[in-house]
Chains A and B, each alone.
Chain A
Amino acid sequence: MKSTWLIMKRELGSFFVSPLAYVVLTSWLVWNGVVFWILTEFYARNAVASGASTPLSGFFGGSALFFIPLLVFVPILTMRLIAAEKQSGTIEILMTAPVSEESVIIGKYAAALVMWCVLWLPTVIYAWIMSQYGSVDWGAVASSYFGIFCLGAYFMAVGLLMSVLAPTQITAAVLSFVALGVLFAMGIGEFVLDGIAREVCAYVSMWGHMQSFSKGVVDTRYLVFDLSVATLAIGLSVGVLKARSHG
């Protein structure tokens, strides 16, 4: 438990002293500022066409503008986790310290989750801005952030697994991008396919996931999915890290 905490702390420390952290956070906020501006402009000009959705529900996953940057930013956040240790050789001091593979993986994963939260924290200001000019459904905002946290729990676990598998950070980033891209594209299948395939696609759809949460609907099917994928990816990461010494 203590080693998990120490590993998390070190990971966060090394991330937040690197210029990468600030480049990522700044460009993330620039992107989201532009998206938020476009959405408010759109809803201001098309009050009738927008129906029940609001700029905030649009911002939290109601549009592709939510997912496209994530496919890029998530791999950048997670690529370092284990791959950087392999690349610099520090994996040797990490794995010869008296710590278990489980505490290494969980420590790294917890650090990734904290980074994810730090990424989203400044966006609370958009909800505040909206509340100054109109009414905001704070319940829907809360469920949006809960949905984002759950989505992050699953994205970060997938990114972590890719970082354990890949020999270098850049390979890890590419693998995570492809994995998340495929999962994202599967959601589109909901509108293209029929029958059971359509059901499966609807179930894994990130889009459906966030649309439901951004309207204030906490759908447990999506929670079960997020939790299952996260658990599976973390379990596999531990397994891959254990297998490393036999390679």
Chain B
Amino acid sequence: MIQVEALTRRYGSRLAVNNVSFAVESGEIVGFLGPNGAGKTTTLRMLTGYLAPTSGTIRIDGIDALADSIRARQRLGYMPEGVPLYREMRVYEYLRHRGSLKGVVRVAEAVDRSLELAGVADVRTRIVGQLSKGYRQRVGLAEALIADPPILILDEPTSGLDPNQVRQFRQLVASFRGKKAVLLSTHILSEVEAVCDRVFIIRDGEKVADLAPGDSKTSLEETFAELTTSKGDAS
């Protein structure tokens, strides 16, 4: 569903993402791990068309995302880091707006369905800006789900959630196994172990590992520490 080849992104002279390649298959839940500043958000932003890569290719559901960005974006649900939302809107208004913008045909039904899925049906008439962070986070998730996309890209989706909400969120993501391709970035290792089938580790813009959490004999925590600090922790 997602195929990335030799993806590179420079900010001026700084190399943020360097020659990263990976693939995420349909039905698979993949974790994208790395220390802060490793290039996770930059990579996800390139996948979603928000940033243009310096070089490399991206295919989303077989569509060349650089040549046909709008069609590729139709296949994606994206929840950016920090979950920016239109704070002055009511929850259902916001979802209805985003659903229409994404070309959803039966918007009212799609709004109800995504409100249920994300567990925010109880705040549907509240103003987004007045919600707690945990609720806003889940409104962002409802927005990503509104068009029932085959691919979900979630950037640090559980930051700001309380332990119960984290558990619910993980159950929801796990329910997409076999149905959607999910790529979620995080630096919470237990999250990856709990829900992901596979994990990529990125460090200083370079992919340093592609493994299944249960693969290696050592724990994911040790592997992560080894891979991301061995060269002297500069990041």
Q: Which residues of A contact B (CB under 8 A)?
A: 2-3, 6-7, 9-10, 13-14, 17-18, 88-93, 95-100, 245-246
Binds A, one of B67-75, B114-122, B179-187: B67-75
B98 & A90 in contact (Cβ 8 Å cutoff)? no
**Do most interface residues of chain A lie in helix, strand or loop, or is the interface mixed?**
helix
Range for the number of chain B residues in contact with chain A: 20 to 34
Distance of A38 from chain B, by nearest CB (Å): 37
- Which B residues between 63 and 92 are near A, CB-CB below 8 angstroms? 70-71, 73-74, 76, 78, 80, 82, 84-89
Number of A-B contacts (CB under 8 A): 66
* Cα distance A100–B98 in the bound complex, in angstroms: 15
Residues of B close to A98: CB separation below 8 A: 70-71, 73-74, 101-103
B88 & A97 in contact (Cβ 8 Å cutoff)? no
Given the interface contacts A18-B88, A90-B86, does A95 sit within 8 Å of B49 by beta carbon?
Answer: yes
B49 & A92 in contact (Cβ 8 Å cutoff)? no
B101 & A99 in contact (Cβ 8 Å cutoff)? yes
Looking across the interface, which residue of chain B has its beta carbon closest to that of A89? B84
User: CB within 8 A of B84: which of A10, A17, A92, A245?
Assistant: A92
A90 & B85 in contact (Cβ 8 Å cutoff)? yes
* Cα distance A13–B71 in the bound complex, in angstroms: 28
Residues of A close to B102: CB separation below 8 A: 97-98
Given the interface contacts A14-B89, A98-B71, does A92 sit within 8 Å of B50 by beta carbon?
Answer: yes
A14 & B70 in contact (Cβ 8 Å cutoff)? no
* Cα distance A98–B98 in the bound complex, in angstroms: 10
Residues of B close to A92: CB separation below 8 A: 45, 50, 80, 84
* Cα distance A91–B84 in the bound complex, in angstroms: 8
* Cα distance A213–B25 in the bound complex, in angstroms: 64
A10 & B73 in contact (Cβ 8 Å cutoff)? no
Distance of A220 from chain B, by nearest CB (Å): 38
A10 & B51 in contact (Cβ 8 Å cutoff)? no
